[in-house]
Chains A and B, each alone.
Chain A
Amino acid sequence: MKRIGIISIFFLLAISLLAQKVQLERVDQWKLDHNPIAFIGNTYISKDNSIIGLFRDVWGVEITKKEIKQFAGYGEAPNEVILPTILFSYGDDIAIAELVGRVKIFTKKENSYTFKKSIWLKKGELPLSPRSGVFCDGKLFVAGVHFLKYTKGNYYSSLITVFDEKGKQVKTLLEKDLTLDKQYHEFLVFIVKLKNDRLAFLQENEPIVTLISPKSMNVVKQVPLQLPSFYKKMPGDFYSKKSTVKFGDSAYYLKMLETFRTGYSRINNLYFDQDRLILQMRTCDKKLKRYAILVYNADTFKLEHTLYTDDYLVGVKDGKFYCFANGNPGWDGDIDDVVFNIYKIKK
């Protein structure tokens, strides 16, 4: 019996050593001559292997090894955006949603993206705070807190709102009563398209994947994700008005927001590539690097790899992890150099 115990301990140690060996190997680096970037919003990798992103101060950009090309500046002109909230892939085109409820579509013409059309979302009277989006099956799935109805002391809300291509609201999903004491517009949620005609939804504070059928627009199932040992859960009162608002101290809000965003294993982003669901979260462990990239099998949702890096993940394609060197500017301090590191899993 003792022998079996010792063998199993050795076996587990060997597995954990093997698991630790799997790390990231840099395969390319893009050093760009550009002013420092203030903050990175939604990003993904295009079919041309360029980084498409929404960056504060430069707004809609396409990044290649050679340059950062702005295709959507800030303003009211057709090829500009005002108060942009999210950016996502719209087939081969790019969609940028604005806070006012307009989605601007940009298409590639002669090597650069140009304005194609606008879609006004019929979002209703109460606010919708988009945080991520997916275009699938001819519908726009917008993830973010959407207040639907005010009832005494609560907002009956949804976390996903589905619109058709003309902007008509088709369905709301993941509905629940939300109390009025939180800054819900700060709340990050993610939605990505998986293979097998499924969408995956995830909240920054809750490592549970909700699978959705884009056709029926129904929740198929919810799967809790296996977590690494460093995982530090966000507290229940994150973004609450009580913990973020101090009368007469306007800086307190930003300070607390930064605490909630950097002090816990908050999920930063979610991607799908080569049958793998990939997310990045903070380790909040001084012995480890700043972030961990968790790679899950998208069929079984078993954790396959935990990869550590100080870089901020901006997209995954063909097994390559595209990262902004040294973190997300804004939350991880001032980062002067605009450098993207491209990694592969080293086995």
Chain B
Amino acid sequence: MKKNEIFFNIAILVAIIIAIVMVKVKFFSGENPNARAIQDIEKLSVFDLKEKPVKFTSLLSKEDESFVLVFTVYDCHTCILKGLEQLKSLKKEGKQAIGLVVSDDVADIALWAQNYEPTNLHVIKKVDFYTHIKAQQLPVMFTIDDNEVTRIQTITTEL
């Protein structure tokens, strides 16, 4: 075997080892890929419909998963209704289910909410939404466990 060939084989072997390590780190390190969807969750503050500020984490279940539907009133109407229905059935199952409306006008959202069945609705100001929440599309349902997003489900009109 020529010297060049030995060097080439070793280089390929090293490249394969590096690739395996990278894949392992990415997929098997135990890091939750959805965790970054809500950043600095402890610092996040929202408002109830009476415009009283509430610490977001105080709304979440301490023992079980919580479900948070994030949307604006301008999103696809059918999708919002679908999301609210999901919240209702989760609540029936005994889960903590919260609706989080992105808006700077809490009073307006309180008016809007009167047209729907009572849900655990809160308002997140736009600046806080853009600072803390990373969502590609709204409405979105976050499953949160132990203050960490574990699942992201975009709500669409598709069944």
Interface of A with B (CB < 8 Å)? 76, 78, 82-83, 100-102, 118-122, 125, 127, 166-167
Contacts and interface: CB of A to CB of B under 8 A. Distances in A.
B125 to A, nearest CB: 12
B19 interface: no
B115 interface: yes
B63 interface: no
Contacts of A118: 108, 111
Given A120-B111, A167-B115, A100 B74 contact: yes
A109 to B, nearest CB: 20
Contacts of A166: 114
Contact of B74 (A82, A119, A120, A121): A82
Nearest to B105: A78
B113 to A, nearest CB: 9
Contact of B115 (A78, A82, A120, A127): A120
* Top 7 A-B residue pairs of the complex, sorted by shortest distance between their CB atoms: A122-B115, A120-B112, A120-B111, A120-B115, A125-B81, A100-B73, A100-B74
Interface string B101-117: 00111001001101100
Say what secondary structure dominates the interface of chain A: loop
Contact of A125 (B78, B105, B112, B114): B78
A101 B77 CA distance: 10
A56 B113 CA distance: 30
Given A76-B74, A166-B114, 5 more contacts: A76-B105, A83-B74, A102-B73, A120-B114, A125-B81
Contacts of B77: 100-101, 125, 127
Interface string B72-97: 01100110010000000000000000
Nearest to B114: A120
B71 to A, nearest CB: 12
Interface centre among A83, A119, A120, A166 (most CB of B within 10 A): A120
Contacts of B111: 118-120
A118 B107 CA distance: 10
Nearest to B115: A122
Contacts of A120: 111-112, 114-115
Contacts of A119: 111
A76 B104 contact: yes
A73 to B, nearest CB: 16
Nearest to B112: A120
A56 B111 CA distance: 27
Contacts of A100: 73-74, 77
A119 B74 CA distance: 15
A121 B73 CA distance: 13
Contacts of A82: 74
Contacts of B78: 125
Interface centre among A76, A83, A119 (most CB of B within 10 A): A76
A127 B105 CA distance: 24
A120 B114 CA distance: 9
